[in-house]
Structures are given as C-alpha cells and as structure tokens.
Amino acid sequence: MTVKDLMLRSRSYRRFDEKKPVTMEQLRELADLARLSASAKNMQPLKYVLSCDSGTNRLIFSQLGWAGYLEDWDGPEEGERPAGYIVMLHDRSVTTHLGCDHGIAGQSILLGAAEQGLGGCMIGSVRKKELHDDLGLPKHMDIVLVIALGVPAEEIVLEELKPGGDIRYWRDSAGAHHVPKRSLKSILIEGERKKV
Ligand SMILES: Cc1cc2nc3c(=O)[nH]c(=O)nc-3n(C[C@H](O)[C@H](O)[C@H](O)COP(=O)(O)O)c2cc1C
C-alpha cells in the first residue's frame, strides 16, 4: 500500500462495529508509532493511556463530543461505539512546550490504524478535567487529544470542495458521510516573489 493509499483510507470514522474488538497489542503497536514520530526539540513530552475494556471505554466515551457539524446527531449509538481508545497526554514535567507534537503523533496513530484495518477519529472536544479525574491521572499530565478506534461501520466519501462551497461535512439519506476537501490547486500559493 502506498502512503497515498493509506492517506485515502485514513478518514475520521465515528461509527464502528463495536462487537469487533481492538486488542491491547494493537493499541501498543499504535502507541509505538506515535513514539517514533517527530517531536519539537526531540523532547517527547507525550504519554498515552490505552483502553480496550468496556468499563474504561464507557468512562472515556461519556466525555467526548462528536461531529459538531452534524447538529442532529449526538454521537455513535451503543453497538456503534469505539472498541478502543488512546488518550494522549502532555507530560508538563518533560517540557511545557508541546509544539505540534500531538497532531503528528495523532496522524501516525491513524495511519497505523488504517494499516491494521481499523479506523478512528481524533477527538479534541473532550471534557478534559472530568476525564482526567475519571482516569485518575497525575497532576502534571494534561489530556490533549483522544483517539477513538474500532472497525469502521460507515461509508465515507471524499469530495472536492467547489469554489465558494461549504467545508462542513454532511451525511446523506443513505447514511454515507461526505467530507469536502479543498482542491490541490486552491492550496498551492505562488506569491509575488523577489527577483533573484
Ligand atoms: C485536532 C483535531 C481535532 C478533532 N476533534 C474532533 C472532535 O472533537 N470530534 C469529532 O467528531 N471530530 C474531530 N476531528 C475530526 C475532524 O472533524 C476531521 O478530521 C475532518 O472532518 C476531516 O475529515 P477526515 O479526517 O476524514 O479528513 C478532529 C480532527 C483533528 C485533526
């Protein structure tokens, strides 16, 4: 599989077949990909909580916000919920400067998940204080991102955003999730370069 194949496959999935498990071994492998990722000043301040048991999954799920643009959808129903999670933590005792390490690590995890036949979603909308308390985490660690994981049970359609079009993702009457992406042409900038 090429990197582009993986990128195309690595969508944000929010509905899963909850009966199909995610194993601790799979989660450990994904955390290992995050460990190998680039890090500002190579400080590596990220730490991870892994969950694939139903009790901890329930605790995590109850603190997440799903698909803000789908106003009439409150998130996945029971049976469609993620079978595993990686909670990404910033360990401030290593450095207070996080840079963009969390985004890079999140992408590594989602690409690895796609390779494993899993899908997932980075969730930034997290009631962080509540989840921190529920998980009994140390005071010097902040939750930065939760990555929900499972075997996907939804169709996702990428489409090109037309000029003046709406970037909001939407769901059609058959339940497929549509994600508009800006065209390559529209994101490549020439600028008025100095003559050299
Ligand atoms: C930093 C970050 C935070 C996100 N937070 C949420 C979130 O809280 N809830 C959610 O449902 N999706 C969240 N997403 C997923 C985005 O909505 C998704 O990436 C976007 O719709 C594009 O879809 P795609 O990932 O399939 O390309 C987040 C994505 C990123 C990168």
Q: In the chain, what is the greatest distance between 2 CA atoms, to the nearest angstrom? A: 63
Mutate to test the pocket of ligand 1, among 10, 69, 122 (most ligand atoms within 8 A of CB): 122
This prediction's pTM:
0.97
List 6's β-bridge partners, or say none.
none
Is the CB of 177 within 6 Å of ligand 1?
A: no
Is the CB of 88 within 6 Å of ligand 1?
A: no
What pLDDT sits at residue 47? 98
Is the CB of 121 within 6 Å of ligand 1?
A: yes
Residue with tokens 């000043």: 41
Q: What is the pLDDT of residues 52-85, one digit of tens each?
A: 999 999 999 999 999 999 999 999 999 999 999 9
User: In which band, very low, low, confident or very high, does the pLDDT at 193 lie, cut at 50, 70 and 90?
Assistant: very high
CA distances from 33 to 59, 76, 91, 104, 122 (A): 25, 27, 18, 10, 15
Is the CB of 122 within 6 Å of ligand 1?
A: yes
Is the CB of 11 within 6 Å of ligand 1?
A: yes
Report d(CA 45, CA 141) in Å as an integer.
Answer: 9
Residue with the nearest Cα to atom 25 of ligand 1?
Answer: 12
Residue 125 has pLDDT above 90, yes or no: yes
The secondary structure of 49-72 as a DSSP string is EEE-SHHHHHHHHTTB---TT-TT
Q: What is the pLDDT of residues 29-55, one digit of tens each?
A: 999 999 999 999 999 999 999 999 999
Is the CB of 12 within 6 Å of ligand 1?
A: yes
96 CA to centre of ligand 1 in angstroms: 25
Enumerate domains of the chain plus CATH numbers.
Answer: 3-154 (3.40.109.10), 156-187 (2.20.180.10)
Q: What is the pLDDT of residues 127-143, one digit of tens each?
A: 999 999 999 999 999 99
53 CA to centre of ligand 1 in angstroms: 24
Tokens matching residue 57: 């999954």
